[in-house]
């Protein structure tokens, strides 16, 4: 009987609070009432001079949530003892870290150790989407920051995968095919380095010819962009490149997908119906995008007493970090 009482007490004192702890809209209403407005101001300031920040933050948020969940592990710098996610191949062109730092610095002045870096990423991404003309949506907050960032754990779906191959990565995170097609709609404001699609322009799969699924005019245009050998970037939406809309879906239906995965979304029977729906109904895309972003933002979140609230988004408070020689460099590359 005594043992049962102990178990009962442990359940209510330890397990139940963790089970009840969850994300909610307005999490900082009492602890830091200005939290969301401070993040929004930092994003607005950056957007005024750099419209491409929307694409950069969307990419950062996605890359963070798909590795260890949405815990801001992507922000942690390497040390002399360990290499962080930042140094993995897919993350070398992720950018926008300094914007997160700026928002965090402002928050620490007003609400020390209250707002997580993970929530800053999520809020900043939403705010940047709105500024680019995308949907406004409520962001549930209350995430806590992870303490681990390991280069060897980065395994993200690449741009050359088939629809079914890419979907496996999304499915593993609890996302549906509809979620995947919706989230890839973020490419409407994105760019990609030529190295990610140059194989489609001249010698596709060893044929000596361009990818037949790509519009000939687009092939010519991209050859002109990529011909100087410096690996520049090209817009994934050749029409409204900085506006968040459904033009991306219209273009991939017209064989103007820059990345292989983009074009396959329009051609594969698993996803083509969803693409057609979004191409013909902008409001449907806006509604679903907001829903999918909230869903993605819930992947493996740390809540309650798990993780920590970092004071410096680039380093965990759980250990003394010595900066890795490489992590002091700036990130001059555009995000894909």
Tokens of 126: 């939403």
Does the pTM of the predicted model rise above 0.75? yes
Report the C-alpha gap between 267 and 252 in whole angstroms: 9
Note the pLDDT of residue 15. 41
CATH number where 92 lies: 1.10.520.10
- Report if residue 6 sits inside a domain: no
187 among annotated binding-site residues: yes
Tokens of 275: 């693409």
Closest CA to 209 of 197, 200, 221: 200
Active site residues: 63
SS3 track for 152-199: HHCCCCCCCCCHHHHHHHHHHCCCCHHHHHHHHHHHHHCEEEHHHCHH
- Report if residue 3 sits inside a domain: no
- Report if residue 277 sits inside a domain: yes
Report the C-alpha gap between 257 and 140 in whole angstroms: 33
CA gyration radius, the chain: 21
326: three-class secondary structure by DSSP: helix
Note the pLDDT of residue 329. 34
Q: Where are the alpha helices (DSSP H) in 212-246?
A: 216-226
b (16+ CB within 10 A) / e for 238-268: bebbeebbbbbbbbbbebbbbbbbbbbbbeb
Note the pLDDT of residue 12. 37
- Report if residue 225 sits inside a domain: no
| 296-333 residue pLDDT tens | 999 999 999 999 999 999 999 865 433 443 333 333 22
- How many structural domains are present in the chain? 1
179 among annotated binding-site residues: no
Report whether 186 contacts 265 (CB < 8 A): no
Please classify residue 114 by burial: count the beta carbons closer than 10 Å to its beta carbon, then call 0-12 exposed, 13-18 middle and 19+ buried: middle
9 among annotated binding-site residues: no
Note the pLDDT of residue 317. 80
- Report if residue 321 sits inside a domain: no
Closest CA to 198 of 212, 213, 184, 211: 211
| 2-27 residue pLDDT tens | 444 444 444 334 443 443 358 999 99
- Report if residue 230 sits inside a domain: no
71 among annotated binding-site residues: yes
Which residues in the chain land under pLDDT 70? 1-21, 318-336
DSSP, res 137: -
Domain boundaries, position 285: 24-190+236-316
CB contact set of 278 (below 8 Å; sequence gap of 6+): 181, 182, 185, 246, 249, 284, 285, 288
């Amino acid at each position: 009987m005594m043992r049962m009482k102990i178990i009962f007490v442990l359940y209510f004192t330890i397990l139940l609070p963790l089970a009840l702890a969850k994300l909610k809209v307005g999490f900082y209403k009492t602890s830091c009432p200005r939290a969301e407005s401070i993040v929004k101001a930092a994003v607005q300031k950056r957007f005024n001079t750099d419209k491409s920040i929307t694409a950069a933050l969307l990419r950062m948020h996605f890359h963070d949530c798909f590795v260890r969940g949405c815990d801001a592990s992507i922000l942690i710098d390497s040390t002399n003892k360990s290499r962080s996610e930042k140094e993995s191949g897919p993350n070398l062109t992720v950018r926008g870290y300094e914007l997160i730092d700026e928002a965090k610095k402002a928050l620490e002045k007003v609400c020390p150790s209250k707002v997580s870096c993970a929530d800053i990423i999520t809020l900043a991404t939403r705010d940047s989407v709105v500024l680019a003309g995308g949907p406004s949506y409520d962001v549930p907050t209350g995430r806590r920051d992870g303490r681990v960032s390991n280069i060897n754990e980065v395994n993200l779906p690449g741009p050359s995968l088939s629809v079914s191959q890419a979907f496996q990565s999304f499915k593993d995170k609890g996302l549906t095919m509809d979620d995947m097609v919706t989230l890839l709609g973020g490419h409407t404001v994105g760019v990609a380095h030529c190295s990610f699609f140059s194989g489609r322009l001249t010698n596709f799969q060893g044929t000596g010819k361009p990818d037949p699924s790509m519009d000939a005019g687009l092939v010519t245009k991209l050859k002109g962009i990529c011909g100087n050998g410096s690996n520049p970037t090209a817009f994934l939406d050749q029409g409204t490149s900085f506006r968040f809309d459904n033009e991306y879906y219209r273009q991939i239906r017209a064989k103007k997908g820059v990345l292989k995965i983009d074009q396959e979304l329009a051609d594969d029977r698993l996803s083509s119906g969803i693409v057609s729906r979004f191409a013909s109904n902008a409001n449907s895309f806006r509604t679903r995008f907001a829903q999918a972003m909230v869903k993605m933002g819930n992947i493996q979140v740390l809540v309650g007493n798990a993780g920590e609230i970092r004071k410096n988004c680039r380093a965990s408070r759980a250990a003394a970090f010595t900066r890795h020689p490489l992590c002091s460099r700036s990130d001059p590359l555009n995000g894909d």
